[in-house]
Structure 1
Amino acid sequence: MTVRVTYEDAVAWVCLDRPPLNLFDTSQQLAAELALRELEAREGLRAVVFTGAHGHFSAGGDVKEMGTLAPGEAAGYAERISRLTRQVAALPVPVIAAMEGFVLGGGCELALAADVRVCAPTARFALPETPLGLIPGAGGTQRLPRLIGLSRAKDIIFSGRMVHADEAARIGLVDAVVPEEDLTGTARAWSLRYTAGPAAALAAAKQAMDAGMAAPLEEGLDLERALFEPLLAAGERTEHFRRFQAPRVEAAASAAH
């Protein structure tokens, strides 16, 4: 398989593995779709980590294959790559992209669909489609401006230039740059931080933020209220409230003595 899925308890690790650069040709796209269907059906899943093999995350779409597409095949190709990143973004659990080497084109757009991004110093980001006579087709023109601001996104997309890891961290494209040997451990630590929280609350928080950012403020506030109310009424909060209050009660008792 060119997309490998392994599990560590409630965390799924999805590794792109099509040597040497993990390019997204049609077979890789279909393999990724199968992996996502597996994740969507997985009971008890609490977080997902995307990685890449062979020292790279993904160098994006297979330009050689794209150059051979007949006009009638373009619509299906475009629909498929757009659907793929939408499926990643729609996963109801925290999604982490742990990246090194090339993170280009569709690979960069896959990372943009994640909730959190961490990379090694070797990471190189780019959306090179515009200089090739295209535009990013898997969410890049929409997610990148929302993440780093419109002006910076325009520069990166218009020029197709490479963004090194230090600049990516400075402009908010990634959340952390860590030594290459710490990349997996950092992604694992973040995933465990999220899996420790209540599943329903995490899913609702993700939905509220993602959908709210695409709506006017008042609509976002209405959605937040609608998601908050059933959580407040549900029994899951009782256990977590008790855990939250216990250390405070113990601290107050100690202070009283």
Structure 2
Amino acid sequence: MTELLNKDGVRVTLGGDGDTVATVTLDNPAKRNAQTAATWRALTEAGRLLPGSVRVAVLRAEGKSFSAGLDLGVITPEGIPGMPSFHELARYPEAQLDDAIAEYQEAFTWWRRNDIVSLAAVHGHAIGAGFQLALACDLRVCADDVQFAMRETSLGLVPDLTGTRPLVELVGYARALEICATGRFVRAEEAERVGLANLVVPRAELDAAVGDLTAALLAAPRDAVVETKALLRGAVTRSYDEQRAAERAAQGRRLRDLAGVGE
């Protein structure tokens, strides 16, 4: 294993044949992997550090919780070191506030890149920012003790770390609204039933299940997986005829590549 990063509660290692698998670990179990601006900067850096050999990015966490969400120190007037408090953010000019939130969102964005498949191994609590981080990934394998919750509205806020669109895509508008507006827990059985979890396994089997799925993802030719991910991600915004055209174009590229025929 090769360590690429270890800072601010985020550790990144490379492994697999030819360094094809990157493992990003939330590593602040004493605080239940609560997130701060420093966490998000480290996660953003993790995405930038991944070499081109990486095909699968696994997100996991140490300790009893995947992530308890935002470090609530930021809602106090004094805030936390290295991150403006909510009171300070509220006084930013509109453009500066927009830029600050956009910077935070970068930590949640790169997991959707077409050149990798991202996989969250989720156990225990995944609350607020933790829930949104799991939603940032393409796939979620969950332990049977998982508890998702979107608690931002309970604080008078909204989910703003890119989680609203994938949540609606996965469970539908009405259920997404109910989950966010009530802040209730979504446990393992429901998570699997409504599509939040691709797979639920006993906690002791989580690492093995993630390893099996990772191996299956690596079995197919990389370019075919990349093209397929791009097709599926674009399907939600294309019309039927536009999607048909995108499929034809992608298949043409694959056929030419397999046959060794230039463009």
TM-score (norm 2): 0.84
The correspondence for 1:60, drawn from 40, 63, 69, is 69
The correspondence for 2:153, drawn from 126, 130, 134, is 130
Q: Does the aligned pair in 1 maintain the 2:37–2:104 contact within 8 Å?
A: no
Q: Once structures 1 and 2 are overlaid, which stretch shifts more, 16-25 or 204-213? A: 16-25
Q: Does the aligned pair in 1 maintain the 2:136–2:163 contact within 8 Å?
A: no
| C-alpha distance in structure 1 between counterparts of 2:207 and 2:27, whole Å | 16
Residue of structure 2 equivalent to 1:22: 33
Q: Deviation digits for residues 129-149 of structure 1, max 9, x if unmatched?
A: 112111100122211011011
Q: Which runs of 5+ in 1 are unaligned?
A: 239-257
Q: Does the aligned pair in 2 maintain the 1:88–1:110 contact within 8 Å?
A: no
| C-alpha distance in structure 2 between counterparts of 1:53 and 1:214, whole Å | 36
Q: Does 1:33 align with 2:44?
A: yes
Q: Which runs of 5+ in 2 are unaligned?
A: 1-6, 77-84
| C-alpha distance in structure 2 between counterparts of 1:207 and 1:130, whole Å | 32
Q: Does the aligned pair in 2 maintain the 1:4–1:17 contact within 8 Å?
A: yes
Identity level (%): 31
Residue of structure 2 equivalent to 1:92: 115
The correspondence for 1:6, drawn from 13, 38, 41, is 13
Q: Does 1:186 align with 2:209?
A: yes
| C-alpha distance in structure 2 between counterparts of 1:154 and 1:145, whole Å | 8
Residue of structure 1 equivalent to 2:218: 195
Amino acid at match of 1:150: Y
Count of aligned pairs: 236
Amino acid at match of 1:81: Y
Q: Deviation digits for residues 52-96 of structure 1, max 9, x if unmatched?
A: 111211122223225523121643332123222221112522111
Amino acid at match of 1:55: K
Structure number with greater Rg is 1
Pairing 1:72-221 to 2, within 5 Å after superposition: 72=92, 74-221=97-244
SS across alignment from 1:235: helix
Amino acid at match of 1:28: T
| C-alpha distance in structure 2 between counterparts of 1:119 and 1:136, whole Å | 21
Two-structure CA RMSD over aligned residues (Å): 1.8
Distance change (3 Å), C-alpha of 1:236 and 1:176 = farther
| C-alpha distance in structure 2 between counterparts of 1:96 and 1:106, whole Å | 17
Q: Once structures 1 and 2 are overlaid, which stretch shifts more, 52-61 or 186-195? A: 52-61
Q: Once structures 1 and 2 are overlaid, which stretch shifts more, 118-127 or 82-91? A: 82-91
| C-alpha distance in structure 2 between counterparts of 1:81 and 1:61, whole Å | 12
- Between Structure 1 and Structure 2, the one with more helix by share is 1
Q: Report the alpha carbon displacement of residue 8 of structure 1 after superposing the two structures with TM.
A: 2.1
Q: Report the alpha carbon displacement of residue 223 of structure 1 after superposing the two structures with TM.
A: 2.1
